[in-house]
Amino acid sequence: MSTSTDSSRHAGGAAHPRLAELALALGGFGIGTGEFVIMGLMSRVAEDLQVSVPDVGYAISSYALGVVVGAPIISALAARLPKRALLIGLMLLFAIGNFASIMAPHFGTFVGLRFIAGLPHGAYFGVAALVAAAAVPVEQRARAVARVMTGLTVAILIGAPLATWTGNLLGWQAAFAGVGGIALLTALMVRLWVPYQSADHQASPKREMTAMIKPRVLFTLGVACFGCGGMFAVFSYVMPTLTQQAGMAESLGPLVLAIFGMGTILGNFAGARIADWNLLRGIPIILLWVACVQGGFYFAANTVWTGLLFVALVGTSMAVAPAMQTRLMDVAEDAQTMAASLNHAAFNMANALGAWLAGVTIKMGLAWSSTGLVGTSLALLGIAIFATGRWMEKREARPHRSVSS
């Protein structure tokens, strides 16, 4: 496939491949910091924009919906663009969205600007994942994808806690300004260190859009959407859960984000190992683990230390991401760029769905930690969707075996 070939040339043609990888990782770091920092600053954003804490969840959902909308549209319209120019453009758009968020005069505008900031997210990670996967043997693809995702997980471990600390000290606007600055620095580093790659003239919006109608792609996206939703259901409200239900001091907010980040790094690489071992067996195993640890959070969040332990365990739910990205590469055929971007759209649809369901549950009067039960339900639904997709896949394959025999 031309996309894979181009990606391989891109990865292999860098004069300074480590600097090129650093530039791409920094973009992931900025995106991850911008996505997750608001979860540690919910109370401050709510106070400044005069809304309730659960209402800030709508801003989280808006960003995630921006990813969902932006990934397929950008992937289709930019199918023939040189990848370096595309990456620079995506980072500039991300910077604009974050700088503009600082100047939002009221909450409705803020929600809309978070949507704009989310538009480039999926396409950026999708292109980077394809480049990484094309540069390694097929049996190491999931680990290559995991390395691309390291920028995101390090953002959860270091970037979001640091930005949360800055936001608590100087105001939440300072945190978003820092994220915008990282995006501008990434655009410069990509221009300097990522080699030019000629456009794929065989690519077209029509070819990329075929991913949207492939049943195996749609089932995989469904698994990603629901299977990852519980992690965001828990994490979106983890600070009020631990402060109001477990009695934790609000000053420990950066520690909570760091603990969650360590869990995501562990889950990211563990999930990649499992996927490279046996992808189709590994996916339901990972989802079952996700269901167990998120359900455990419901009981653990009554005390600070057990709550913090399960924050780390919930973070390991990131194991779903490299497995689903690899599965999409297997089923996307000629629409690799679209499928790779759609994985992050599904991941952020999970963000929107999880944050929304968690907010609804809390507003119904249930305990803050009931977000863990939401997570368990979504993970089990992900297993059911995966099983249904595999059953249909095997069913469709039987007539072909009969004809060939």
Which CATH number is 31's domain given?
1.20.1250.20
Please report the pLDDT score of residue 346 as a whole number: 82
Domain total in the chain: 1
pLDDT attached to residue 290: 94
Task: Give me the pLDDT at residue 61, please.
Answer: 81
The residue segments making up the domain with residue 383 are: 2-397
pLDDT tens-digit readout, 303-337: 999 999 999 999 999 998 888 888 887 887 777 77
Q: Which of 255, 238, 177 is nearest to 368 (CA)?
A: 238
Whether 405 is covered by a domain: the verdict is no
- For 82, left (φ over 0), alpha (ψ -120 to 50), or beta? beta
For CA atoms 276, 74, 124, 294, give the dihedral sign. negative
Q: Give the Cα separation of 131 and 124 in Å (integer).
A: 11
User: Which pLDDT score, from 0 to 100, does residue 401 have?
Assistant: 52
Q: Taking the model in full, what pTM does it have?
A: 0.74
**Is residue 302 included in any domain, yes or no?**
yes
Instruction: Name the helix (H) or strand (E) containing 172.
Output: helix 172-193
Is 403 within a domain? no
Q: How far apart are the C-alpha atoms of 308 and 254, rounded to whole Å?
A: 12
- H helical segments located in 155-252: 160-170, 172-193, 205-209, 215-227, 229-236, 238-240
402 found inside a domain: no
- Residue 154 belongs to some domain of the structure: yes
Q: Does some domain include residue 404?
A: no
Residue 356 lies in a domain: yes
The CA-to-CA distance between both ends of the chain, in Å, stands at: 29
Q: How many helices (H) and strands (E) does the chain have?
A: 20, 0
pLDDT in tens, the chain (405 residues): 344 434 334 344 455 566 777 788 899 999 999 988 887 788 899 889 988 887 888 898 888 888 888 888 888 887 778 778 888 999 999 999 999 999 998 899 999 999 999 999 988 988 777 766 666 677 777 777 777 778 888 887 888 888 988 998 999 999 999 999 999 999 999 888 876 766 666 666 777 776 667 788 889 889 988 988 989 899 888 988 999 898 888 888 778 878 988 898 899 889 989 988 888 899 999 999 999 999 999 999 999 999 999 999 999 999 988 888 888 878 877 777 777 778 777 887 887 788 889 989 988 889 899 999 999 999 999 999 999 989 988 887 766 554 444
